[in-house]
Every structure is written in C-alpha cells, then in structure tokens.
Amino acid sequence: MPAPDDRRWDSETDLLVVGAGAAGMTAALVAALEGLRVILCEKSDTVGGTTATSAGSVWIPGSRQSEAAGVADTIEAAKSYLAGVLREPAFDDRLSAYLASGPAVLDYLEQRTSVVFAPPPVHPDYRNLPGAAKGGRALAAVPFDGRLLGPDFDRVRPPRREFMVLGGMMVGKTDIPALLAPFRSWGNFRHAFGLLARQARDRLSYARGTRLIMGNALVGRLLHDLRQRAVDIRYRTALKDLVTVGDEIVGAVLTTPTGELALRARKGVVLATGGIGWSNELRERLLPDNARRYSLSPESNTGDGILAGERASAEIECELESPALWMPSSIMTQSDGHLSVFPHIMLDRAKPGLLAVDASGRRFVNEADSYHDFVQAMLRSNRSPASVLAYLICDRRFIRDYGIGLVHPGTRDLSRFVEAGYLHEGRSIAELAAKIGVDGEALTHTIERYNRYAETGIDEEFGRGTSELNRFNGDPANRPNPCLRRLGPGPYCAVAVWPTDLASSAGLRTDARGRVLRPGDGVLKGLYAVGTDAASIFKGTYPGPGTMIGPAIVFAWRAAMDAAGVLDNFSMPSD
C-alpha cells in the first residue's frame, strides 16, 4: 500500500522529464507519441545539452538503415566484438535489451518522427578486435535545416565555438577537403561555394548558420517534433528534488523563474540531466584526481539527476573500467577572455608526422587510437596531478598540411598561439624540450625512433597505423603508412593536452526498462534514469562512435514506452 499522498501539488502531469538532451528529448517525444501528457523541464534557456555539441552518432548494430545503405552489420558480429571489449561478464539484461531493441527504436523514430539516421560508409569501431565493424554500425544524424524551427531556432544550444567558422557555420569532416582546396575539383568548388553562400544568407537573418549537422541536427529534429506534438517544454526550470511518498517517487520540486513548483507526475519522473558534469562533489568522489579540472559538459550539467537519485536512495554504479569517457583537449584563453577547450577528436592525432609524449619526453600510446584510449593511457602514464599533461609534437610542415587543435591547416602566422601559451615552438628539439620542460635527450631519442618507423612504415612500439580507425583518420596519400611521416628539420612545435570528460559512465544503477534500482536490486518505483544519468551499459569502455547517444536514445524510448505501459507490446528476446 503506498502511503497517502497528502502533499499540496501546484500542478500535475503524466510524465515529468528532467533535462533536454538526446535522452530527455527522446523520452518526452516518445511518451507524447504514446499518448502521455508530458512536461519536459530544462535548466538552461536552450535545449540540447552536451548532445548539441556532439558529433551526434549512434552505435546501433544490425539496423535496417545500414542494410539499406549497403553496409550491413549483424548483432551477432557486434556481440563477438563486445565480448572482446568488455571481457567477462559481458552480457547483462541491459546490454541484451539494448542490442535487441536498437534497430526497432531506429525504425520507430523513422516511421513516427523526423528523427532519422544514416550510416556513413566508413566509420570504424574503436578497438581492433574480432567482430569490429568498419562501417554500418555507427549511424549519423541526418542534417537538418534550422530554419524549419522558426523562432525556436534560438532555443537550440549552439555547437562548441571552436568547431564553427565564419561567424557560426558548422563544419563536418566531409566539408573540410572542399573548404581547404575549393579549386582542386569541380565537386570541391560546388560544395564549398554552396556552404559559403548559405552561410552568407544565414548571417543576414540568424545569429549563426542554420545548416545543422551532427549533434545539432539531432537536437534540431527532436525540438521540431516536440513542438509539433505540442509538448510542454519549460525552460530555466530545474529539478530541485524528487518527492517520495512511501517507497515511490510521485513527483518533483522544480525551481522556475517565478519560484518553486511542486509537480505531481502520475506515471513517473525521468532523470536525464547529463550525468556528473561539473558537479564538484561527484567529480571528487568519482573521477581520478588528475582528470577533474576540465570537462566538455555544458555549464548547466551539474550532476543534479544523479545526486537527486542518490538522495532518494538510489545507488551509483562505480564498478566500471572508467568512471568517465575522455577526450584529450588543448586549452587556450582567447583575447576576449573565452576559455577554448578544444577536443582532439580526429583531425590531427592520427595524421602522419605527429607524436605524443608524456612528461618524461617518451611516447606512451598509439596516438591514432580513440580519444578515450589515448586519455586512458595518459592517465596511466601520468599518475601524479602535477604531471598530467601530454604534449602533441609536430613540425611546421604538419601544421601547414593538417593544422593542430585550434591552429587551422595552412596557418602561417603562429604568433597569436605562441603568445597565448597555446603553441610552443623551438628551432631544435632541444630548444622545444626546454620550453615545455621535458628531458631534451629523451625527446630527441623519441623523435629519432619515430622517424625510423616512418621510413619502414612500422611503428614497432605502438602499432600506429595498423587499425581501421587509425587509417580512417590518417592521410591515405601518405605512404607507406598513412599515420607515420618523418618530423624535421625544425622548427618543432608542441601543444599541451589535458584529460577532459566528454561523458560520464558512472551513473545511477538501472534495469533494462530504464527504471532506477535501489541497492539490492529492488526497483525504485516511479523513477527512471536515462542518458548519462544512468550507468554505462558498456561498463565504462568505449567500443565505438555513438556508444553514448545510442544507449541514451534506446533507453529513453524503453523508459517512455514502459511509463506508457506499452513496452511489452514490443516483444524482444530479452524482455
């Protein structure tokens, strides 16, 4: 018998969804499609959270979309890959439910909403293991025309400033060759001209470009559909605390621009506030001490969902390979005071002619591996907070050809970056080593060895260039190895990189329906956690592109369907 609910409510709804990133927006949209009355509350004045600043890929094995695009993938192959990534015990209920329902979720969204994904022909998994996919497993959000949102366009959180050019134009990986060499071919010219003309037009009427790609396209599409379904979105409205009656969550107290609001939620509350984020308390408890300083989370992600869940007797799952997923980022304070945190995702680390060293001046990792594996190696190699940095090292020719971090390819005048302390330059290796405080002799030997590997094409220490992922992000024109080229003669350059969390993997323990669990496995009735508020189904590993937003969307769907009482109509092998 639930305890009597004698509280005075200001308002009520069926489902309260807290946080408007991929997870919260999907949960709200699906619940509305299934006939529930939904309130989606968002702490900031924009939707999108981290999702809007992401690449927007989803990792969903065995989809119909991949088969239709001629890059078929199977769940069986993904399972054997995951068995290698996760080791034992690999397949719990949540992971099985994810694999079983992922393709159905993509179809549901495609049939009933404008949220569509398409697989690029090549987008390799992150680990070189049996069953790894070269393409077809990761799907990208299809670009979206932000003009379709009308005035709501301003409600979409913009991408990271560092990833836009020309006053707010988004640039994807496939745009870069055309923009760098518009006259190399007619195709390049047409593509570059199209982008620039659109941007010029957009600037007359909008604060930034309206051609939305990657995570911004996904968020734009979700917002478009939420508006079409007339879902009640409350901006600047934050979860303060959950309300429990007996052993059940029955609603929440929200802070709004006009004061507090006690909201009853008849079918439950969905936590989707974006994980650990900037919460000092959670960062200190959960993250290694040499990786707490910078985060790629938006400032409004402050661990609210996880902390509220804990206060309501839920538990955080911490037995994971890593409590967060990482990217190495370089940091620069711009002349207007803006702190640029630039994640080195795929544009420079794998290109031939770059290497990374730790504080000892020695290489510690295959630099072309995934950003997460790079930082995991960095954390292992620099255990003390004082020596947390790694340096990316290259020469001027590398910067001309590929750019490094915030320094775009072809940049000739590096003085702005040098003066800001972002780029370090030395005419010789010894001079560079002295400037960055690493052992000159060690750095010289490291570069000499790297140069020998560049001649043979074989990296005898770390196997740079041996995986699909390495080669995908390398330079196919560079022989014999697309990821290895001699450095020198000087000048030599270095950029420091720091561990930055792109997502948390520690989060609330949930079941295959997205329901939050109490210690000892009982369900905490009325409470769901999705996206990064829930613990990673991949146990803190990073199998491939899209392994955060994929589960965010699939478990948001499962939670919403469960709240609407229709999840079991979709019979999946694992339910």
Ligand X SMILES: Cc1cc2nc3c(=O)[nH]c(=O)nc-3n(C[C@H](O)[C@H](O)[C@H](O)COP(=O)(O)OP(=O)(O)OC[C@H]3O[C@@H](n4cnc5c(N)ncnc54)[C@H](O)[C@@H]3O)c2cc1C
Chain residues in the site for ligand X (CB under 6 A) = 18-24, 41-44, 49-51, 53-57, 238-239, 272-274, 296, 298, 300-301, 304, 343, 502-503, 531-532, 545-550, 552
Least Å from the CB of residue 515 to ligand X: 17
Shortest Å distance, C-beta 282 to ligand X: 12
Contacts of 148 (CB under 8 A, 6+ apart): 220, 224
Least distance CB 533 / ligand X (angstroms): 6
Question: Which string of DSSP letters, residue by residue, matches 503-546?
Answer: EE--EE-B-TTSEEE-TTS-EEEEEEE-GGGBPPTTTT---STT
Q: Which is nearer to ligand X, 341 or 365 (CB)?
A: 341
Query: Would you say 527 and 534 are in contact if contact means Cβ atoms under 8 Å apart?
Result: no
* Neighbour tally for 482: CB within 10 Å: 22
- Output the six-digit token pair for 418: 């040098």
Least Å distance between CB 503 and ligand X?
3
* Interatomic CA distance for residues 575 and 573, integer angstroms: 6
Residue with Cβ nearer ligand X (20 or 392): 20
Nearer to ligand X, 55 or 170 (CB): 55
Q: Are 141 and 119 in contact (CB under 8 A)?
A: no
Task: Tell the smallest beta-carbon distance from residue 164 to ligand X (Å).
Answer: 13
Instruction: Extract the tokens encoding 341.
Output: 């945190």
Q: Find the shortest distance in angstroms from Cβ 326 to ligand X.
A: 10
Q: Which is nearer to ligand X, 147 or 236 (CB)?
A: 236
| Residues forming a β-bridge with 330 | 342
- Least Cβ distance, residue 358 to ligand X (angstroms): 24
- Name the strand (E) or helix (H) holding 558: helix 549-563
Q: Using the minimum distance from each CB to ligand X, give the nearer residue, 223 or 487.
A: 223
Nearer to ligand X, 422 or 542 (CB): 542
Classify residue 520 by burial, with Cβ atoms within 10 Å: 0-12, 13-18, 19+. exposed
Cβ 375 vs Cβ 499: under 8 Å: yes
Give the HSE-up count for residue 72: Cα atoms under 13 Å, Cβ half-sphere: 4
Beta carbon nearer to ligand X, 443 or 548: 548
- Specify the residue, 375 or 549, whose C-beta has the smaller distance to ligand X: 549
* 70: region left, alpha or beta (phi > 0 left; psi from -120 to 50 alpha): left
Q: Which is nearer to ligand X, 298 or 474 (CB)?
A: 298
Query: How many alpha carbons fall within 13 Å on the CB side of residue 308?
Result: 29
Rounded least distance, CB 237 to ligand X, Å: 7
Q: How far is the CB of 507 from ligand X (least distance, A)?
A: 9
How far is it, in rounded angstroms, from Cα 473 to Cα 550? 22
